[in-house]
Amino acid sequence: MNDSPRSETPALPTDDLPLSGITVVELGDSASAPFAGHVLAGLGAQVWKVERPTGDSSRSWGPSQWRGDGAAFHAINRGKRMVRIDIKDPAELAKLHRLIVEHADVFVHNLRPGTSAKYGLDAATLRAAKPSLIHCELGAFGHVGPLNAEPGYDPLMQAFAGIMSLTGEADGPAVRAGVSIVDFGTGMWSVIGILAALVRRDRSDAGASVNSSLLETAIAWNTIAIAGYNADGNPGARHGSGVSFIVPHRAFPTSDGDLIVSCANDELFAKLAAALGHPEWARDPGLATNAARLENRGECERLIGEVLLTDTRARWRDVLSASGIPAADVQTTPELVAHEQTAALEIIGTPSDDDGDIGTVGMPLSFDGVRPAALHSARAIGADDDALNRLLRS
């Protein structure tokens, strides 16, 4: 929990946000489509989240729970109207069709392959009924190709797209990133596509069919390694906290914790050498250039590591900062939440309508220097069923 005082910084009300007046229907489950809906809500859209009668899968995710639902659900489902619709029931499905066709600007879903067409929720059907609709489908392996009908999740795509082959220690097994970078990235790419389609619709009144997928996102995140392979056949390798193309650019242990040190060019390396008391490193032909350091990665990292072990993380961070060298503590989540820089950004807090709620992350952007207001709490299954019925009767 974040026990810091509530923010006194002004926040943009929903009516002043860029997507104010836009209505989104999200038929999303788990992470990717719900994250897209969460971002759209944060940008001011009215988002109707449609859940099956048993609710979104993430309501049951653990181990952390809040008010009977998984903390993960609260993290990415704030600011939405929650309605319960069983699309297998013809009457309920008809209600969903009416909501989309009569009221939605955008429809977002991550239904299993083939399911959208089965229920008339595919782009062709819905856009025939409403040509101005922006229909966004988030798939697993993509909407074409021999695997397009296969289901998929974040770790599968990190594996399939080669990300795991590049993640982990050189002498250890391949591992996945500790956060759902593919799920959330697919949500972000979908939002980018939706925003671009909204801009085009303003010019032409035409809707769009937007497709994104977990695999395409994972491939996009692997873009540098793919370029390297296509250039010279190098498949890449695991470098722990480091990267394949810059040295030094990794975590080093100090006497009391780990510190990331990054020298993206030779000038920074020369400053690092001087700050560590070894200006001669910058004159050594085996270390002076990034190409040389890549060739002699082990020796370069050994020399730096030996010096950094002689003092504390805080002292070395101060020394490197004074020399203009990028460095950062390898922090735990509690350390991040408690850090004064995090507090200054006021990005973690409680929703504006409920001081006793779980502390979650706000929108990671600002408009004219002002962050959008915190979204209201994630609600119970079907909390807005009555509101939907009133809307469809009006």
Q: 94 in a domain, yes or no?
A: yes
Last residue of a domain, one of 329, 355, 380: 329
- Catalytic, 256? Answer no
Mean pLDDT of 378-393: 94
> Taken in order 146, 148, 149, 153, is the CA torsion positive or negative?
positive
Residues 301 and 375 in one domain: no
Whether 194 is covered by a domain: the verdict is yes
Q: Is the predicted pLDDT of residue 4 greater than 60, yes or no? A: no
Q: Is residue 26 situated within a structural domain?
A: yes
**215/75 same-domain check:** yes
Q: Are residues 319 and 380 both part of a single domain?
A: no
Residues 35 and 173 in one domain: yes
- Residue 352 burial (C-beta neighbours within 10 Å; 0-12, 13-18, 19+): middle
Q: Which residue has the higher pLDDT, 309 or 369?
A: 309
Give a yes or no: residue 186 inside a domain. Answer: yes
Residues 217, 267 within the same domain = no
Q: Residue 49: what residue type?
A: K
Q: What are phi and psi of 80, to 5 degrees?
A: -110, 155
d(CA 205, CA 202): 6
Same structural domain for residues 45 and 193? yes
- List pLDDT tens digits, range 68-117: 899 999 999 999 999 999 999 999 999 999 999 999 999 999 998 889 99
Averaged confidence pLDDT in the chain: 92
Same domain, 22 and 167: yes
pLDDT (average), residues 186-203: 98
From the list 105, 154, 183, 384, the catalytic residue is 183
CATH number at residue 137: 3.40.50.10540
Q: Domain check: are 169 and 309 in the same one?
A: no
Residues in a beta bridge with 49:
26, 82
| Domain CATH number, residue 271 | 3.30.1540.10
Domain that holds residue 379: 14-222+347-393
| Among 39, 55, 204, 200, residue whose Cα is nearest residue 108 | 39
Distance CA 279, CA 146 (A): 56
Any domain includes 230: no
Residues 314 and 364 in one domain: no
pTM for this one?
Answer: 0.90
Same domain, 55 and 178: yes
Per the structure, how many domains does the chain have? 2
Q: Within this chain, do residues 143 and 274 fall inside the same structural domain, yes or no?
A: no
**Could you read off the pLDDT of 279-320 as tens digits, one per residue?**
999 999 999 999 999 999 999 999 999 999 999 999 999 999
Paired tokens of 123:
């782009």
Q: What is the rounded CA–CA span in Å between residue 310 and residue 291?
A: 28
Statement: residue 1 has pLDDT above 80: no
Q: Has residue 342 been placed in a domain?
A: no
b/e map of 142-172 (b: 16 or more CB within 10 Å)? beeeeeeeeebebbbbbebbbbbbbbeeeee
For residue 69, being part of any structural domain is answered with: yes
Q: Phi, psi at residue 298, to the nearest 5°?
A: -60, -45
Is 66's pLDDT higher than 90?
no
Residue type, 286: G
Among the candidates 280, 301, 329, a domain finishes at: 329
193 within some domain: yes
Question: Do residue 119 and residue 150 come from a single domain?
Answer: yes
Q: What is the pLDDT of residue 58?
A: 95
